[in-house]
């Protein structure tokens, strides 16, 4: 082990005393553990203790056989753990685990080391809460235990803005005198080189070609190359691209959080091994030590160093490969022999100024690329001393309600003191985040600039060389797209019965797997897959090898995992059948299907894990209430398909009412649970802490949206800029096939909380009955007989409304009112607008009904779980019907399957148009010219005319016309007055008179003959038939003769 970690964590070299080392990534501790595994330096007094949530799995991976025992001391968490009393102790853990060491236990330590402390600033985007808590916790400790022997060391090779923030925070606590900076001036024998290269192009393809050309150059220099990504999902495709454009014989590995296999094992043990290129994320940059390539540990122990050379390639012009100078320096420092060259491709500096074409180039872009100038720091470099400084807008601390779920479950576990303490902690943490963000805004872009890279390299003892190049010559192009190629590999795997049967017989679904490519397939564009075999079982992990290209390793690994999971649930044969239907282009397996087969399979397997966790019961109860409300005709439309259930909210007013009443039910539950807990003595004080209904509402609604996105496909209401509704809110619940094992696993669900307020279906039904009665009473009062007798036009409106209300069809009433108000002929009639707007307002008073529905849903769920340990609603909603067959997914609705007579078309034509029926002769245009058809002679005619025929979902003809425009106009009006339009993807468009899909011109332009499922009408169909005109007229005349006779 080498570097600064040696003086803190290595028992052989560390500072004397008891030390706790907190690290930003588990990989750093894993790397140290790998070293310690082979050098057992622990004694009775000297002890290393490894602590992180996955450390056991990591240590097991070091074992060469199942018989080998774990030799290192470890814990999965420090929460409530006993801290050993050894005089020479090194606790190697993560940032968040340090929070589990009490201040009393911390005071027994000589040092608390925050390793790679630049991550306190770098990591703010994805773990701000942990970072703020850690800094606050440590400063609290210093303030409380200022006489303690414990020293807090923030340690890094690349300081960031945390070096400015921490002393300021300590000053606020009047302990600023306890802060000091120690800078170690290290002398190096070897100087790495960094080539800051201006790549003068914005073309993404050209940039990639140039970057790959540079990688080829490094390989020719016998350098092992590392390239850094921000998105691990892009790595497989890029690996395939490198193998195609450089050579299929080079070996490329992937290293990222959670990666497995030989490359990961090599890097954790300090070497690249036989890998030529490693594609990695920022996971590589902290705590990894590469020092054992082409050299043994024994040689290192006597002072020798590796002679292997390395190359680092960074492209700041590619969003997926853009990293800061801090990360670049950290990457170079991973190579302990410093035999490293780094090429950094800068973005194009002199881009045209699109806002001011009189300028030669965009000055802001040039300033940003060269110096990192942005809106927060430009005043520092300007000659104008009167510039107004732009400050980062301080994040206003979002008020939070703490222990909200705890008080709803068991209010006696929550006290006002607990809440106040947590509120103060949160306030302090927010101050830390704001302070870091303010400092970061000044320097953030500088770290990505040419100037930032140059000065950071200089400080790190790296020679910075500035270059300029144009883009490189084009390399070999990839002829296959990545997704189709991966899909073909997956398809071939699923078609290989021999491989599938072998894996079924060899693998236990309860054990982990690691898939490796055998190396037999070297063509990056090959889709071959086969010859799978289990080559080892180590630490309950199967090592499976197969013939396929290495770039598909992760995809095959996931596929086998999904296959085993499905086999466990359904058995082998049904699992294969499900997988094949998910990858069948002709099967309508909605809503799981995506362009990527692997994502389609993941969409099917993933949702079930949320159904048995009580955390998601709020979302499940919301859906359960919707299921009930969809029967009440209030604008919640439930569509049941074989593999999904959807709820569409066609009444946009109801959407906000639903959420507000659900949130009110959640708020009321707090008061009910506190009032009914006899063990709480200070009920009013506790209720006071949860009295901000609006704040709790906002927090609950955020949580609800998050849960709906996990449990279903949630598509919120969308509006245009001018406030018009573009699409209704919709929730699509995927349904998976039933199995006994799935059903048995659902029995473990348990809320662990008290029963909420009593409410059953009869209570809710009574609320709806009372609501309808109230609306009818108001209708009778507003449109009384005397008024109707004075204004005759009101009688028809009154009768229409009364019929709909007697059927309890609230949505039909709402739509009828909207139709009248949007009808220019009727909305100007006396009394109509005033009366209907008043009634429209009455219809919005659904609150009591909705509140009762949510209370009933929650009560019935809690009662069912308490009594039966299961929830039938989940089985009914999230699982397919018992008699569902996958083969049915091939059966699609098509009106063409329904036979009809040509005379049915004739009848509809005669009913809706008089075209040709009154004429004796007609001249029509044909392919050979204009022809005259005489309807009075007996000469046959072959002349035809296209007829546009509308049919409904049952295949019945509802309209026919020779005119396309008239046909579309009829359908728009018909669907508005009758069954509304529904689309092939299950969505329901917004229904507004003469707007959107209900507008003739919009329908013709966007929805007629559209191939997209979201733009294709499902419940109506316009077909074109060529009708022989003379035969049609003869048929019409025959009807007239029959009528006359």
Share of the chain above pLDDT 90, in %: 42
DSSP 65-105: STTPPP-SEEES--TTPPPP--SEEEEEEEHHHHTTS-HHH
Tell me: do 264 and 158 sit in the same domain: no
pLDDT at 192: 94
pLDDT at 382: 65
Is residue 698 assigned to a domain? no
Tell me: do 939 and 994 sit in the same domain: yes
Please give the Cα distance from 242 to 134 (Å, whole number).
41
At residue 340 the predicted structure's pLDDT band, cuts being 50, 70 and 90, is very high
pLDDT at 449: 92
pLDDT at 894: 44
DSSP 486-508: HHHHHHHHHT-HHHHHHHHHH--
Tell me: do 210 and 319 sit in the same domain: yes
Please give the Cα distance from 30 to 24 (Å, whole number).
12
Average pLDDT of the residues of the chain: 86
At residue 752 the predicted structure's pLDDT band, cuts being 50, 70 and 90, is low
Q: Give the residue from 821, 849, 877 where a domain finishes.
A: 849
Is residue 1039 assigned to a domain? yes
Question: Could you tell me the residue range of the domain that residue 561 belongs to?
Answer: 482-524+553-605
What is the average per-residue pLDDT within 571-576? 87
pLDDT at 927: 66
Is residue 631 assigned to a domain? no
At residue 1029 the predicted structure's pLDDT band, cuts being 50, 70 and 90, is confident
Tell me: do 276 and 294 sit in the same domain: yes
Name beta bridge partners: 930. 925
Please give the Cα distance from 325 to 312 (Å, whole number).
12
Q: Which of 143-152, 864-873, 983-992 has the lowest mean pLDDT?
A: 864-873
Tell me: do 143 and 197 sit in the same domain: no
At residue 895 the predicted structure's pLDDT band, cuts being 50, 70 and 90, is very low
Which whole-number Å values give the CA distances from 792 to 438, 796, 825, in the listed order? 70, 8, 15
Q: Which of 267-271, 449-453, 829-833, 996-1000 has the lowest mean pLDDT?
A: 829-833
Tell me: do 465 and 497 sit in the same domain: no
User: For 621-656, what is each residue's pLDDT tens digit?
Assistant: 999 999 999 999 999 999 999 999 999 999 988 999
Q: Give the residue from 588, 605, 622 where a domain finishes.
A: 605
Please give the Cα distance from 67 to 59 (Å, whole number).
14
pLDDT value at 480 more than 70: no
User: For 496-535, what is each residue's pLDDT tens digit?
Assistant: 877 777 777 777 777 778 888 998 999 888 999 988 888 8
pLDDT value at 899 more than 80: no
The alpha-helical segments, DSSP class H, found in 630-720 are 652-675, 683-689, 693-711
Tell me: do 206 and 148 sit in the same domain: no
Beta-carbon contacts of residue 828 (< 8 Å; ≥ 6 apart): none
Tell me: do 968 and 986 sit in the same domain: yes
pLDDT at 29: 82
Q: Which of 88-97, 491-500, 722-731 has the lowest mean pLDDT?
A: 491-500
pLDDT value at 140 more than 50: yes
Tell me: do 123 and 268 sit in the same domain: no
Tell me: do 900 and 1024 sit in the same domain: yes
Q: Which residue has the higher pLDDT, 179 or 312?
A: 312
Share of the chain above pLDDT 70, in %: 93
Helix (H, G, I), strand (E, B) or coil at 368: helix
Beta-strand runs (E) in 439-525 = 463-469, 512-517
Please give the Cα distance from 497 to 511 (Å, whole number).
22
Is residue 882 assigned to a domain? no
Beta-carbon contacts of residue 1006 (< 8 Å; ≥ 6 apart): 997, 1015
What is the average per-residue pLDDT within 316-330? 89
Helix (H, G, I), strand (E, B) or coil at 735: coil
pLDDT at 761: 95
pLDDT value at 285 more than 90: no
- Which of the 8 DSSP states describes residue 393? P
Residue 837, token pair as written in the block: 């707007």
pLDDT value at 893 more than 50: no
Helix 482-494 × helix 497-506 angle, to 10°:
70
What is the average per-residue pLDDT within 196-225? 93
166, 154 in Cβ contact below 8 A?
A: yes
At residue 892 the predicted structure's pLDDT band, cuts being 50, 70 and 90, is very low
Other residues' Cβ atoms within 10 Å of the Cβ of residue 512: 12
Question: Between β-strands 644-649 and 193-199, what pairing exists: parallel, antiparallel or unpaired?
Answer: unpaired
Is residue 1 assigned to a domain? no
Q: Which residue has the higher pLDDT, 757 or 926?
A: 757
φ and ψ of 964, to 5 deg: -65, -45
User: For 553-567, what is each residue's pLDDT tens digit?
Assistant: 889 988 988 988 888
Is residue 810 assigned to a domain? yes
At residue 99 the predicted structure's pLDDT band, cuts being 50, 70 and 90, is very high
User: For 595-614, what is each residue's pLDDT tens digit?
Assistant: 999 999 999 998 878 887 88
Tell me: do 965 and 914 sit in the same domain: yes
Tell me: do 835 and 951 sit in the same domain: no
pLDDT value at 342 more than 80: yes
Per the structure, how many domains does the chain have?
5
Q: Order of strands across the sheet with 193-199?
A: 252-255, 277-280, 223-228, 309-315, 340-346, 193-199, 463-469
- The length of the chain is 1045
Q: Which of 101-115, 151-165, 200-214, 441-455 has the lowest mean pLDDT?
A: 151-165
pLDDT at 897: 43
φ and ψ of 399, to 5 deg: -60, 140
pLDDT value at 395 more than 60: no
Which whole-number Å values give the CA distances from 832 to 777, 787, 797, 811, 814, in the listed order? 18, 11, 9, 19, 14
Q: Give the residue from 541, 573, 605 where a domain finishes.
A: 605
Beta-carbon contacts of residue 81 (< 8 Å; ≥ 6 apart): 51, 75, 100
CATH number at residue 88: 3.40.50
- Which of the 8 DSSP states describes residue 482? H
Residue with tokens 């003086």: 7
CATH number at residue 312: 3.40.50.300
Query: What does pTM read for this prediction?
Result: 0.81
């Amino acid at each position: 082990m080498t570097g600064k970690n040696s003086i803190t964590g290595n028992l052989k070299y560390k500072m004397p005393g008891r030390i706790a080392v907190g690290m930003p990534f588990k990989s750093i501790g894993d790397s140290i553990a790998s070293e310690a595994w082979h050098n057992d330096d622990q004694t009775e007094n000297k002890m290393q203790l490894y602590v992180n949530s996955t450390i056991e799995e990591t240590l097991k991976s070091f074992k060469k056989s199942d018989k080998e025992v774990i030799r290192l001391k470890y814990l999965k968490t420090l929460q409530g753990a006993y801290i050993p009393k050894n005089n020479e102790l090194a606790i190697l853990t993560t940032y968040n685990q340090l929070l589990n060491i009490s201040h009393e236990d911390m005071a027994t330590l000589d040092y608390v080391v925050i390793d790679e402390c630049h991550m306190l600033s770098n990591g703010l985007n994805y773990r701000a809460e942990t970072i703020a808590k850690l800094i606050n916790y440590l400063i609290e400790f210093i303030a409380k235990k200022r006489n303690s022997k414990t020293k807090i060391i923030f340690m890094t090779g690349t300081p960031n803005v945390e070096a400015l923030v921490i002393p300021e925070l300590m000053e606020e606590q009047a302990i600023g005198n306890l802060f000091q900076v120690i800078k170690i001036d290290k002398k190096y024998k070897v100087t790495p080189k960094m080539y800051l290269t201006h790549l003068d192009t914005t073309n993404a393809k050209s940039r990639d070609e140039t970057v790959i050309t540079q990688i080829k150059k490094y390989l020719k220099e016998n350098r092992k190359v590392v390239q850094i990504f921000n998105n691990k999902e892009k790595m497989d495709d890029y690996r395939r691209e490198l193998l195609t454009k450089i050579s299929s014989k080079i070996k490329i590995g992937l290293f990222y959080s959670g990666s497995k296999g030989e490359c990961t094992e090599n890097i954790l043990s300090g070497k690249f091994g036989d890998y030529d290129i490693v594609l990695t994320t920022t996971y590589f940059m902290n705590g990894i030590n590469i020092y054992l390539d082409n050299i043994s540990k024994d040689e290192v122990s006597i002072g020798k160093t590796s002679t292997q050379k390395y190359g680092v390639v960074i492209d700041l012009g590619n969003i997926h490969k853009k990293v800061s100078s801090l990360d670049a320096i950290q990457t170079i420092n991973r190579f302990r022999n410093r035999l490293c060259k780094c090429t950094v491709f800068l973005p194009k500096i002199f881009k045209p100024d699109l806002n001011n074409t009189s300028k030669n180039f965009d000055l802001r872009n040039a300033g940003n690329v060269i110096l990192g100038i942005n809106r927060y720091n430009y005043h520092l470099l300007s000659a104008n001393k009167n510039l107004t400084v732009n400050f980062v807008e301080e994040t206003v601390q979002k008020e939070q309600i703490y222990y909200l779920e705890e008080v709803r479950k068991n209010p006696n576990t929550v006290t006002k003191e607990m809440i106040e303490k947590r509120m103060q902690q949160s306030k302090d943490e927010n101050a830390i985040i704001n302070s870091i963000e303010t400092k970061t805004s000044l320097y953030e872009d500088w770290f990505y600039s040419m100037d930032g890279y140059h000065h950071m390299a200089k400080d790190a003892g790296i020679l910075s060389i500035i270059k300029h190049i144009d883009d490189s010559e084009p390399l070999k192009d990839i002829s296959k797209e990545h997704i189709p190629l991966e899909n073909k590999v997956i398809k071939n795997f699923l078609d290989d019965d021999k491989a599938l049967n072998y894996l079924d017989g060899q693998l236990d679904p309860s054990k982990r797997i690691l898939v490796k490519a055998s190396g037999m397939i070297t063509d990056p564009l090959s889709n071959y897959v086969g010859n799978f075999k289990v080559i080892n079982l180590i630490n309950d992990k199967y090592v499976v090898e197969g013939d396929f290209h290495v770039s598909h390793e992760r995809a095959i690994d996931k596929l086998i995992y999904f296959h085993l999971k499905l086999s466990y649930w359904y058995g082998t044969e049904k699992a294969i059948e499900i997988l094949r239907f998910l990858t069948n282009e002709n099967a309508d397996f909605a809503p799981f299907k995506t362009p990527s087969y692997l994502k389609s399979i993941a969409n099917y397997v993933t949702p079930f894990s949320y159904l048995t966790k009580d955390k998601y019961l709020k979302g499940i109860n919301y859906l359960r209430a919707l299921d009930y409300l969809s029967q009440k005709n209030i604008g919640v439309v439930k569509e049941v398909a074989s593999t999904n259930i959807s709820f569409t909210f066609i009444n946009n007013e109801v959407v906000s009412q639903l959420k507000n009443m659900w949130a009110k039910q959640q708020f009321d539950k707090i008061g009910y649970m506190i009032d009914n807990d006899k063990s709480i003595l200070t009920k009013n004080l506790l209720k006071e802490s949860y009295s901000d209904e609006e704040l709790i509402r906002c927090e609950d609604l955020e949580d609800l949206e998050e849960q709906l996105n996990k449990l279903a496909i949630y598509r919120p209401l969308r509006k245009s800029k001018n406030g018009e509704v573009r699409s209704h809110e919709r929730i699509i619940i995927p349904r998976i096939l039933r199995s006994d094992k799935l059903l048995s696993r659902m029995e473990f669900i348990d809320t662990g909380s008290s029963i909420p307020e009593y409410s059953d279906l009869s209570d809710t039904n009574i609320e709806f009955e009372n609501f309808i009665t109230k609306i009818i009473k108001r209708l009778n009062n507003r449109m009384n007989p005397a008024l109707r007798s004075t204004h005759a036009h009101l009688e028809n409106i009154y009768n229409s409304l009364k019929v709909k209300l007697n059927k309890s069809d609230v949505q039909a009433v709402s739509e009828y009112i909207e139709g009248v108000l949007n009808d220019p002929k009727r909305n100007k009639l006396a009394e109509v607008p005033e009366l209907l707007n008043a009634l429209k307002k009455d219809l919005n008073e659904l609150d009591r009904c909705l509140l009762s529905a949510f209370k009933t849903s929650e009560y019935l769920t809690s009662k069912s779980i308490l009594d039966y340990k299961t929830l039938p609603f989940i089985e009914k909603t999230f699982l397919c019907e018992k008699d569902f067959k996958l083969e049915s997914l091939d059966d699609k609705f098509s009106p063409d399957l329904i036979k009809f007579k040509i005379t049915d078309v004739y009848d509809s034509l005669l009913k809706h148009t008089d075209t040709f029926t009154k004429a004796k002769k007609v001249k029509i245009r044909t392919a050979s010219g204009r022809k005259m058809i005489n309807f009075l002679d007996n000469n046959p005619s072959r002349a035809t005319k296209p007829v546009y025929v509308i049919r409904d979902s049952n295949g019945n003809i509802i309209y026919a016309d020779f005119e396309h425009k008239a046909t579309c106009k009829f359908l728009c009006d018909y669907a508005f007055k009758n069954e509304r339009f529904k689309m092939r993807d299950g969505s329901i468009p917004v229904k507004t008179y003469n707007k959107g899909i209900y507008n003739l011109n919009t329908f013709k332009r966007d929805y007629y003959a559209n191939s997209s499922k979201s733009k294709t009408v499902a419940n109506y169909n316009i077909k074109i038939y060529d009708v022989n005109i003379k035969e049609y007229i003869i048929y019409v005349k025959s009807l007239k003769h029959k009528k006359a006779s």
